[in-house]
Amino acid sequence: MVNAPMKKRFYFDIKWVIIFVIVAFMLVFQVFPLLFMLYRALFASGSFSLSSLSRIYTYSLNWTALKNTLIASFFTMIFGTLIAFPLAWLVGRTNLHFRKFFRSLFVLTYMVPPYLGAMAWLRLLNPKVGNLNVFLRDLLGLSQNPFNIYTLGGLIWVLTTFYYPYAFITISRAMEKMDPSLEEASKISGASPLRTLLTITLPMMTPSIVAGALLVFVSAASCYGIPSIVGMPGNIHTVTTRIVGYVSIGSADGLTDATSLAVFLMFTAVLVMYASAFITGHKQYITVSGKSTRPTIVDLGKWRVPITGLVFLFAAVVILLPFATVAITSVTQNLGKAVTAPGNFTLKHWEKVFTRADILSSMKNSLLFGAAAATAGILIACVMAYLLQRTRVRGRHIPDFLITLGSGSPSVVIALGLIMTMNGRFGISIYNTPAIMIIAYVIKYQMMGMRTVVSAMSQIHASLEECSQVSGASWPRTMKNVTLPLIGPSVAAGWFLIFIPSFYELSMSALLYSSATKVIGVQLHEYWTFTSQQQASAMASGILLVVIALNVALDRLTKGNFSI
Cβ atoms 230, 149 nearer than 8 A: yes
Give the chain's end-to-end CA distance (angstroms, integer). Answer: 66
What gap in Å lies between CA 126 and CA 123, rounded to an integer?
6
pLDDT per position as a tens digit, 477-505: 777 777 777 777 788 888 888 998 899 88
User: 3-state DSSP call for residue 86?
Assistant: helix
Helices 488-503, 533-557: crossing angle, 10 deg rounding = 170
Least confident of 117-121, 258-262, 558-562: 558-562
Band (339; pLDDT cuts 50, 70, 90): confident
For 548, half-sphere exposure in the C-beta direction (CA atoms, 13 angstrom radius) is 8
Contacts of 473 (CB under 8 A, 6+ apart): 481, 482
Output the pLDDT for position 43: 80
Q: For the chain, what percentages of helix, strand and coil (3-state, to nearest 5) are there?
A: 75, 0, 25
Which is more confident, 21 or 195?
Answer: 21
Angle CA 538–153–83, to nearest 5: 80
Which is more confident, 292 or 170?
Answer: 170
Band (140; pLDDT cuts 50, 70, 90): confident
- pLDDT over threshold 60, residue 470: yes
pLDDT per position as a tens digit, 236-256: 999 999 988 888 876 677 777
What gap in Å lies between CA 27 and CA 395, rounded to an integer?
14
Which is more confident, 181 or 400?
Answer: 400
- pLDDT over threshold 90, residue 155: yes
Band (286; pLDDT cuts 50, 70, 90): very low
Output the pLDDT for position 532: 86
Which is more confident, 43 or 315?
Answer: 315
- pLDDT over threshold 70, residue 10: no
Contacts of 47 (CB under 8 A, 6+ apart): none
Cβ atoms 179, 289 nearer than 8 A: yes
Output the pLDDT for position 500: 87
What gap in Å lies between CA 564 and CA 547, rounded to an integer?
14
Helices 411-421, 252-282: crossing angle, 10 deg rounding = 130
Output the pLDDT for position 87: 93
Under the phi-then-psi rule, with left for phi > 0, alpha for psi from -120 to 50, and beta for the rest, what region is 433? beta
Band (135; pLDDT cuts 50, 70, 90): confident
What gap in Å lies between CA 72 and CA 75, rounded to an integer?
5
Cβ atoms 308, 97 nearer than 8 A: yes
Output the pLDDT for position 287: 45
pLDDT per position as a tens digit, 59-100: 888 899 999 999 999 999 999 999 998 998 898 888 899 888
Percent of the chain with pLDDT over 70: 89
What gap in Å lies between CA 10 and CA 240, rounded to an integer?
52
Look over the chain and give the mean of its residue pLDDT values, rounded to a whole number: 83
Supply the DSSP symbol for 46: S
- pLDDT over threshold 70, residue 179: no
Least confident of 70-74, 180-184, 290-294, 429-433: 290-294
Cβ atoms 504, 315 nearer than 8 A: no
pLDDT per position as a tens digit, 187-238: 777 777 777 777 777 777 777 888 888 888 988 988 888 999 898 888 899 9
